[in-house]
Amino acid sequence: MTHPQPATGLRRLSLLSLGALGVVYGDIGTSPIYALRECLAHGVDPTPDNVLGVLSLIFWTLMVLITVEYQMFVLRADNRGEGGILALLALLRPQRHRGGGWLQKAAILGAALVLCDGVLTPAISVLSAVEGLEVAAPALAPAVLPITVGILLALFRIQRGGTARIGVWFGPITALWFVVMAVLGTAQIVKHPGVLAAINPVYGATFLIHEGWAAIRILGSVFLVVTGAEALYADLGHFGRRPIVYAWFGLVFPALLLCYFGQGALILNSPTPVTQPFFELAPDWALYPLIALATAATVIASQAVISGAFSLTRQAIQMGVIPRVKVVQTSAETGGQIYIPALNTLLMLVTLIVVLAAGSSGALANAYGVAISTTMIITTGMLFLAMRWRWHVPLVGAVLVCGLFLAVDVSFFSANMLRVPAGGWMVLAAAAVLYGMMRTWNWGRSNLIGMLRTETLPLPTLFSRLARERIARVPGTAVFMTAPKLGAPPALQHHLRHAHALHERVILLTVENRDLPRVAPDERLAIEPLEQGFYRLFVRYGFAESPDLPHAMEAAAAQGLPVDPTDMTYFIGRETLIVPPDMRWFDRQRERLYVFMFRNALRATDFYRIPPRQAVEIGLWVEAAVPVRARDAAGA
């Protein structure tokens, strides 16, 4: 008697683990190209004690931060299967706890830093791979930058068509990449097996003590081995925890260790100085194929980071953190396959500028790590809150576990702060600008909702007026968007004031964004009949979904709402914001920035996919007032 179910489950797990190799581990998997090289580039003599000390630090960094913290703890803090710093923020529901405002600010800062990492990863990864040509043929060194720029242009160019067709090759190519790294590293370890002694943490501790303050700078380079850590968590929703964990222990972790230790063995065995330890692992005949494979692996790693930036941006839009922008669905089967034209163009321009300005991966390494080390501290702090608020872990246990992680995170953060004058300031400056814009949008949006709330007419008052004044009703259905728990929105009042008539059926439509990635179909809609032909319709979306109101209207009609989705008019309020001259200088500048973003945000008709022929925009003049507290408008 056969039992096909276990085999089917195992096959699916294997396929998901294979897919996770390309998407989840692309970034961390390309670090061996440059990480050990940078660790020994700070005047550290390649003596046995020094090499073993650096390798020991690399081993225990991967063990503590990736194997223990992320694989065993952080990946468990999922929001209905979705991961990432904003998903964790939604899971914690900061509005229900004291100090929730600070938690939201920290998460927004972390998101801004992750987006900045979306610029550095393609730049340093692709550039470091192409630099292998300098080892194979030093005469080709002047061609490194042009080739890198060409690859990056092609990478960003293909985003508009989606990566569904070529994405099936990402896993197998990345799997081959890890196998090749493991084989090359093993060949050198066999010649110098003594390098495996670096597993002993005493070598790392002795190295740090011997180097003194200089070791802090070296720690900044050691951190390069874990710069893809946030991708583990951010891509949780694509594969689930088990495939990610299986891929790590089954292939990625062993391959990384073999490659790093193999490079160390090569350095100790070589009679001449080793400048590119990764590429010098390969024999001469395999150098060009290795460069080609490394380039493919770094392109895949860059693709994963870009896709992650798209997903994070969609989450931020749904959570009201950044302005609406155009989101294109590039796959009919996979909801996570999206393309954001504005963000893609911005990432492309900034990445090319960074590559041309730096000129080498070594120069870029000074900026790399600053953003992620800061994000990891924020993630550890939020993990502590998840352990206390969601898992109800005793305080002592949560402090002991997260205290260990935080001590390691702070050590690397301090080391990376030394890189700020040498290039890290660019990342922090970009993150600060992005954070300021995100906070301003969230602040201005809350103020706008608060001002519109004061102009809302209670529904009983509206119904009394309709009955008293015998307002004319014309055939058809009108849809007015409104915030939850509010009455007649200003757009409805404005229309009634000028048209002196209403449609037979009026839908007061509220779009609610939930603190979960996706809303179940049976929870998507809520219909509430009112009186005089009025209905309330609630449409709910998760932060990993894109709104589609016409589709929601079809579902509502199927559930009994007496409307024809093809024969209704959406009345959209188009606010024009006016900044009064008597505001405080800081608030006035902040309001002006919000007005600029508001005017350039995607129109509601495009964002909600409302057909233009069914939309009517009603202009509303709104004058900014004294800022209201965000919590007063949170329900809107």
**Nearest-CA neighbor of 482 among 504, 462, 500?**
462
Question: Cα 48–267–32 angle (5° rounding)?
Answer: 115
Q: 373-400 burial string, b = 16+ CB within 10 Å, else e?
A: bbbbbbbbbbbbbbbbeeeebeeeebee
Measure the CA–CA gap between 29 and 462, rounded to whole angstroms.
Answer: 62
Measure the CA–CA gap between 481 and 444, rounded to whole angstroms.
Answer: 19
Measure the CA–CA gap between 286 and 168, rounded to whole angstroms.
Answer: 26
The whole-number pLDDT of residue 331 equals: 62
Cβ–Cβ < 8 Å for 606, 617:
no
Q: In a 10 Å sphere around its CB, with 0-12 CB exposed, 13-18 middle and 19+ buried, how is residue 602 labelled?
A: middle
Which portions of the chain are predicted below pLDDT 50?
A: 1-5, 626-636
CA-to-CA separations, 303 to 110, 143, 157, 299, 316, in angstroms, rounded: 21, 23, 11, 6, 20
**Per-position DSSP letters for 93-158, written without gaps between them:** -GGGSTTHHHHHHHHHHHHHHHHHHHHHHHHHHHHHHHTTHHHH-GGGGGGHHHHHHHHHHHHHHG
The whole-number pLDDT of residue 8 equals: 67
Count CA atoms closer than 13 A to 82's CA, side-chain side.
24
The pair of three-digit structure tokens given for residue 592, joined into one six-digit string: 């002006």
628: left (phi over 0), alpha (psi -120 to 50) or beta: beta
Cβ–Cβ < 8 Å for 269, 192:
yes
pLDDT tens sequence across 575-600: 777 777 777 878 788 888 888 888 88
539, containing H or E segment: strand 534-541
Measure the CA–CA gap between 449 and 65, rounded to whole angstroms.
Answer: 42
**Nearest-CA neighbor of 508 among 495, 520, 523?**
495
The whole-number pLDDT of residue 581 equals: 73
pLDDT tens sequence across 378-437: 999 999 999 999 999 999 999 999 999 999 999 999 998 988 888 788 888 888 999 999
The whole-number pLDDT of residue 278 equals: 94
Measure the CA–CA gap between 224 and 35, rounded to whole angstroms.
Answer: 6
The whole-number pLDDT of residue 500 equals: 87
The whole-number pLDDT of residue 1 equals: 41
pLDDT tens sequence across 291-338: 999 999 998 888 888 888 888 888 888 888 889 898 887 765 555 567
**Nearest-CA neighbor of 371 among 545, 230, 197?**
230
